[in-house]
Amino acid sequence: MRSFSGKTAAFALPILQSLLETPQKLFALVLTPTRELAFQIAQQFEALGAGIGLVVAVIVGGVDMTTQALALAKRPHIIVG
């Protein structure tokens, strides 16, 4: 079974479309039930938004807070946590 065969794209593409229409930083927050899923969804957003310079940050528990603070300081378009 292929992971992310369209489930992530089902909500990521409308977010990216809206971002293209109204470009701004800190555009969307995507909440996930697990840390692993947060990283997987962030990878999908990065792949789908590579052509538009999308910046994604993953903010989860159990990860160095300084690293996450630096990611937020870059003012990402999408935060996944």
Position 70 in a domain: yes
Position 5 in a domain: no
When divided into structural domains, the chain yields a total of 1
pLDDT in tens, 44-61: 999 999 999 999 999 999
pLDDT tens, N- to C-terminus, the chain (81 residues): 455 568 999 999 999 999 999 988 889 999 999 999 999 999 999 999 999 999 999 999 999 999 999 999 999 999 999
Please state, in angstroms and rounded to a whole number, the distance separating the CA atoms of residues 25 and 80: 14
Position 59 in a domain: yes
Position 11 in a domain: no
> In 3D, which of 65, 69, 72, 81 has the Cα closest to residue 29?
81
Please state, in angstroms and rounded to a whole number, the distance separating the CA atoms of residues 74 and 81: 16
> In 3D, which of 7, 64, 3, 50 has the Cα closest to residue 30?
7
Position 56 in a domain: yes
Position 44 in a domain: yes
Position 9 in a domain: no
Position 74 in a domain: yes
Q: Which domain holds residue 57?
A: 18-80
